[in-house]
Amino acid sequence: MTNDIHYWLAHSFKYAFQDSSSFVLIGGTYINIYGAGEIYGNRQAWWDARMNNKSIQRPIPVT
């Protein structure tokens, strides 16, 4: 995921009751995700942006 805050603000799933937004939404019945590695969501860019703009919601890479 890129650290393009403006893109992800426009293209994320908002959860106002948790003050957060998710980049990838997975749903269904009997869902299993397997593998190894890391999902690097560039969170530091979000926290830096949030320091200047409190309306930016907390990032959650996968929901």
State yes or no: pLDDT of 31 exceeds 70: yes
> Given pLDDT bands bounded at 50, 70 and 90, which one contains residue 33?
confident
State yes or no: pLDDT of 52 exceeds 80: yes
State yes or no: pLDDT of 1 exceeds 70: no
Give the least confident one: 12-16, 32-36, 46-50.
12-16
pLDDT for residue 29: 93
State yes or no: pLDDT of 19 exceeds 70: yes
Strand order, beta sheet including 13-15: 13-15, 20-24, 58-62
CB under 8 Å to 33, separation ≥6 — which residues?
26
The pTM (predicted TM-score) of the whole model is 0.54
